[in-house]
Amino acid sequence: MNYKIISISEPAPETKIFRMVPQEGAMLKFAPGQFVFLHILENNKSIAKRPYSIASSPDAPHMEFCIKIRHGVCTGKLDKMKAGEVVGVEGPFGAFKYEDQKEAGFVAGGVGVAPFIGMLRYIADKKLRGRFILFYSTRTKNDVLYADELAELSTRNPDIKVVITLTRETPPGWKGECGRLGDEMIKKHAGDPQRMSWWICGPLEMVAAVKTCLVNSGKDQKDIKMEGWG
C-alpha cells in the first residue's frame, strides 16, 4: 500500500517521527507492537526497504513511526522527505505483539520505545485493567522520546506505570532512576517478574542483559519476547 506522509517532527537529535495515512482505502490492520517494511519509492517502484516498528495504536487515524536516522540506504532518504511525499508500506509482520495480557512488563532502550508507545496507547485507549509497567533506558534526559505523553499515560490509565532511567547523567531535580536497568531496579518497581509477561526492545547488549536478569529470577524465557539491533 502507498502511504502519504502527513507530518514529520524531530523530538531528539537524529530521530524523527513520521505520521502517514493511506493514499486510498482503509488503514492497515495490525496488532500493537508489530512492524512493517517501509519502501522508498522511485517511479512508484521500490528501490529500498527496511523494517520499522509501528508506534501508533491500531485504532489511530494514522500510522506512526519513530525512526533513528542513521543515514543508511533507507533512513538517509527518509531523512530528506517532506510532508506530502509517499512511501510504500508492506506488512504487518512479527510476533513481538501485545495480546491483551493483564500483567505486562515492557523494557525499552533508546528508540526501542517505539513499539511500546503503540502498546501503551492501545492499553490506555481501551481502558484495559491490570498491571502494566514500562522501563525506559536512555543516555540523557534530552534523549527521552515521547516524554510528555509518557508522563500522561498513568493519568489516562492508572494501571500504567512508567520508569525512566538515565545512564549518562543525573540532572538537577531529576526524579527518575539513574544507571543501567538491572535486577534490583526491576524488583523495586515491578515486584516479582515471574508474574508478568515481558517484552524487551533495544540494543542487543541491553536486551541480552535484561533477559538474563529475568531468567535468573526464575522467569520462563518462553514468556519473554525480544527485538534488538547492533
In this structure, are residues 176 and 164 in contact, taking their beta carbons and an 8 Å threshold? yes
**Tell me: the pLDDT tens digits for 117-170?**
999 999 999 999 999 999 999 999 999 999 999 999 999 999 999 999 999 999
Please list the residues that pair with 202 across neighbouring strands: 228
Indicate whether 13 pLDDT > 90.
no
Could you tell me the three cell numbers for 59? Answer: 485504532
pLDDT at 159: 97
pLDDT at 94: 96
In this structure, are residues 119 and 106 in contact, taking their beta carbons and an 8 Å threshold? yes
**Domain boundaries of the chain, sorted by first residue:** 2-93, 103-229
Indicate whether 71 pLDDT > 90.
no
Cell 536516522, residue?
69
Indicate whether 65 pLDDT > 80.
yes
Nearest by Cα to 104 from 151, 183, 161:
161
The model's pTM = 0.95
What fold does the segment set 103-229 form as a domain?
Rossmann fold (3.40.50)
Question: Contacts by 217-220 with C-beta closer than 8 Å and gap 24+?
Answer: 217/183, 217/186, 217/187, 217/192, 217/193, 218/194, 219/193, 219/194
Contacts for 180 with CB less than 8 Å, ≥ 6 apart: 137, 165, 167, 209
In this structure, are residues 85 and 5 in contact, taking their beta carbons and an 8 Å threshold? yes
Confidence of residue 230 (pLDDT cuts 50, 70, 90): confident
The rounded distance, in Å, linking the Cα atoms of 112 and 33 is: 11
Nearest by Cα to 74 from 43, 47, 106, 42:
47
Indicate the range of 79-88, 95-104, 217-226 predicted with least confidence: 217-226
- CATH class of the domain at 2-93: mainly beta
Our measurement of the distance from residue 80's CA atom to the centroid of its chain's CA atoms, rounded to an integer in Å, reads 23
Nearest by Cα to 57 from 165, 164, 146:
146
Confidence of residue 81 (pLDDT cuts 50, 70, 90): very high
Q: For strand 63-68 and strand 160-166, is the pairing parallel, antiparallel, or unpaired? A: unpaired
Confidence of residue 190 (pLDDT cuts 50, 70, 90): very high
Average pLDDT across the chain, whole number: 96
pLDDT at 148: 96
Averaged pLDDT, 175-203: 94
Percent of the chain at pLDDT exceeding 70: 100
Could you tell me the three cell numbers for 33? Answer: 507492537
* 2-93 and 103-229, same CATH topology: no
pLDDT at 5: 98
Residues in the chain: 230
Higher-confidence position of 146 and 192: 146
